[in-house]
Chain A
Amino acid sequence: MINAYALGFWGLTPLVLYNTINLGVDSGPMLAYLIMLPMVGALVLMCTPSQYTDFIKLTALNISLLSFVMSLFLWVGFDASTPNFQYMYQINWLPFANLHLTLGIDGISLFFVILTTLLIPICLLAGWSSITKYVREYFVAFLILESLMLAVFCTLDLLLFYVFFESVLLPMFIIIGVWGSRERKIRAAYQFFLYTLLGSVLMLLAILMIYFQAGTTDLQVLLTTEFSTQRQILYWLAFFASFAVKVPMVPVHIWLPEAHVEAPTAGSVILAGILLKLGTYGFLRFSIPMFPEATLYFTPLIYTMSVIAIIYTSLTTIRQVDLKKIIAYSSVAHMNVVTLGMFSLNAQGVEGSLLLMLGHGLVSPALFLCIGALYDRHKTRLVKYYGGLVHTMPVFATIFLFFTMGNIGLPGTSNFVGEFLVLTGCFQTNTLITALAATGMVLGAAYSLWLYNRVVFGFPKTHYISVYADLNRREFFMFVPLVVGTLWMGVYPEIFLHDMHASVGNLIHHGTGYGG
């Protein structure tokens, strides 16, 4: 029955794809379709009685896979030779106030769209059997989340960017609070919500000021608008308040380890994979090209904060006892390498930071999935109860090793290319900062290897570990796309860089005025 249903579903896809390709040529509403697809799926599931769990799970998975395929077609039809936005589409929203929902992607946002659609099916699979309460709502929440995240990356309007940027809070708050594992989850959900909200309302004020001054919030117009230096500094700081929380930069990073530890596995995957990228994406898309002088003015601040974050969180990671917290803190370190790269404002740095975001978007979710697999079996995340897993879970040990190496930035994996390019780019602007940031790489290796040692090597702690089940087929296949992506990006990064060059060059031209 299930197979017949799946066949029927995918039987329709050639038709859908044919249409989307055709529409893609004249840059029709393909992005709008892509954004609407999961939302429509969520509506359908919402109307399905909750006892049909098989139908709900399969429909959600199929829809998310379909949107992944659609997003791949975006890549196929992408013109790498131009920095212009592609697949442009405009929907009138508040026409008299000159606010339009403008959709479009360029080399910077293209891969984030693909990353989002890639991670959502994995999230759904991660909760396939471990989620037992509110099953329908779980799948609905992730589909809505997917829609909103895609909209964030596709929208070319400042105010609507803010709308989608914020609206991600709603499903995420519910995901942490409802499907999180422990009582502390409530505190985590609150922290996540209030930190993010407080940061972003300041951005809202800045956006409204910009709207008042320029009469529009259309990004393409704003990129050609000149703001006075004082105003740029003010706006930049307001945007920074919001993005720094999301990145997270060091004084405002506290919500992240809490939210990660308390979130369900799939929630962590999305947090690490996409939501952390929203802050850095915001810097890249808005702060740098719109406020170039303020960007130059604040570069030392970003450098200092990033380096402090890299060293501080790497050292903090070493003394954590919770598996998820370790990965969460290492995410903070990696994201601060990203900010370092993007504010070096040269082609290597920015492309490196983009590549590191993508690489981290594959490796870190994979590590969270590994920990989710352990938690599903043993119901604990404390390191001291684990040991010698290589004897009982060899496949898991192999995959965990692969991604641990990816997290360190072993040559041949995606993170190496990203970090290398970031350090190269940064070296050209500030040697001391680069040297300090490079120590983060050493520290990263220290905590990753030590973690791996403690969990996988040694003798099994049989008092605590009484279930001996290796990864099952579903879990194994969850990792396959992530492994492929990590290796591909590490071995042949040019295929990704190729589509970024034009957009990044254009960005640097905007950001510094002297061309890429």
Chain B
Amino acid sequence: MDYLDLFENDFLVSLPESFLILAACVLLMYGVLVSSPQKHALLVNVGMLVVLSLILALALLWTGPIQEMVLFYNSLKVDYYTYILHSLILVSAICIVFMSFDFLKHEGLHMFEYMILILLSTCSMMLMVASYDLIAMYLAIEFQSLAFYVIAASQRDSEFSTEAGLKYFFLGAFSSGILLFGSSLVYGLTGTTNLADLATLLTGHAAMPAYPESGLYVGLMFLAVGFLFKLAAVPFHMWSPDVYEGSPTPVTAFFALTPKLAVLGLFTKLLYVGFYDVIGSWQKVVMVCSLGSMCLGAIGAMGQTKLKRLLAYSSIGHVGYMLMGLSTGTLEGLQAMFVYIMVYMAMSMTSFCIILSLRNEDGSPVTSVNELSQLSRTNPMLALTLALTMFSMAGIPPLAGFCSKFYLFFSALSASLYPLAVVGVLTSVVSSFYYIRVIKVMYFDNTPNMHNFISLDTSKAWLIALTLGVTVFLCVYPSPIFLVAQKMALALCV
């Protein structure tokens, strides 16, 4: 009893996470014990229960009585920043589950563990963004990565999926190793793993660290490299196109959306809370990666013919833009980055939903861009949706993609990072070339072979409608999302 008193309110605050862990255990037992011959029915059943528990976790999160607190001996911290990130992670996980049903049925993947793994990785990502300590951070990242290695390789009869899982595992484990080495260096040289303590220790070290601290600098670099690996930023991006291409599409969508948010959220926290006073030492690294990612994202996608590879390179480019916001070191930059990632999530949700719902009449999924020809005839609304999403990703006003980009460029300019802003606008022009190629294929090409697609299911239709609404109408009234992003940035910098 005394032991519990030590963490008086901690379990109260971490109720959503605890609930999710519990739900995962219960659902796992349920799935194993009730293993029925109708495997898909079981999958749907477990999937709906997973959605229900995610919604309940969301409700717990929103109704939680304590808004801001440091938990469990400074290893987790909950505030407005994590509150919004938690909400976004939960919402995107709910969307992913809804997107998956149809796919799993068509591909004959009747494993309910898939749903449990999504639940577990969601929980791990929630812990990740809340972590306030290098150890907690590393543990949460590993928890998340393990779940992902398994679902990346879940399509066992496809060699692509197996290869993707293997690649993802190797490079993920490698980057985790780098991250761990960085953490141990930092710990060895400072004697602390807590971000707040690190910040206190580093106060006033604005100049380049002197000799005794140079090891700390190396540790920070290792940490940054580990994170940039996880974000698939250039030059640590090699795994991303292959993994995107090989993994089952809903899993790709999950990769593209949620871990990006969580890893970027944690990376931001690490840099802005723990190491903000040595900004001179990490700003340039992030800047170079941002430049590289924007350029490679624009040029690499040019020659792609596969839809998912195209989106992989496009997401590398988008990570470049997000890192631009991160490298500014200002409130505006952070705000722009959060707006960008929210808009990016809406846009890629739409595009992945559309890719998932495009299936030829014989049941085979659409993989290459050219198969989209005549989509404007056979399915005009879907074509219009994809066209608007592509225009938005290219950053053409008045769509949401522009709304998020202009503030990013503004923050880069106001932080005097002129090369970043110039390269950013130029790569956004170059990348618009391949985005409008998709539109060209759908609207202008007159190929004789007509692909008929089976109609999309209701849940994806709703998802597409909702996310497209964000894409199209955000520019009409963008202030709420900007205000939320600003509050997040402020919460981080307190």
Contact = CB atoms under 8 A, between A and B. Distances in A.
B397 A202 contact: no
A159 B486 contact: no
A148 B475 CA distance: 14
A173 B436 contact: yes
Interface string B460-488: 00000000000000010111001100100
B402 interface: yes
B143 interface: no
A204 B479 contact: no
Interface residues of B, number: 34
Q: How large is the interface on A (under 10, 10 to 19, 20 to 34, 35 or more residues)?
A: 35 or more
A401 interface: no
A194 B437 CA distance: 12
A92 B480 CA distance: 12
Interface stretch (B51-59, B228-236, B253-261, B407-415): B407-415
A169 B435 CA distance: 14
Contact of B482 (A94, A166, A193): A94
Contacts of B425: 201-202, 204-205
B443 A201 contact: no
A63 B379 CA distance: 28
B30 interface: no
Contact of B406 (A96, A159, A202): A159
A191 to B, nearest CB: 12
B422 interface: yes
Given A170-B396, A173-B436, A193-B436, A212 B414 contact: yes
Contacts of A159: 406
A198 B394 CA distance: 12
B80 to A, nearest CB: 17
A189 B441 CA distance: 13
B440 A177 contact: yes
B131 to A, nearest CB: 31
Interface in B391-427: 391, 396-398, 402, 406-407, 409-410, 413-414, 421-422, 425-426
A148 B281 CA distance: 46
B183 interface: no
B161 interface: no
Nearest to A168: B397
B397 A162 contact: yes
Contacts of A433: none
A208 interface: yes
Interface in A174-209: 174, 177-178, 185-186, 189-190, 193-194, 197-198, 201-202, 204-205, 208-209
Contact of B398 (A96, A164, A205, A208): A164
B444 interface: yes
B432 interface: yes
Contact of B483 (A96, A137, A148, A170): A96
A96 B432 contact: no
11 contacts: A164-B398, A166-B397, A170-B391, A173-B436, A177-B443, A193-B436, A197-B429, A204-B425, A205-B421, A205-B425, A208-B409
Given A197-B429, A208-B409, 9 more contacts: A92-B479, A94-B478, A166-B396, A170-B391, A178-B444, A193-B436, A194-B432, A201-B429, A205-B421
Interface of A: 92-97, 134, 137, 148, 159, 162-164, 166-167, 169-170, 173-174, 177-178, 185-186, 189-190, 193-194, 197-198, 201-202, 204-205, 208-209, 211-212
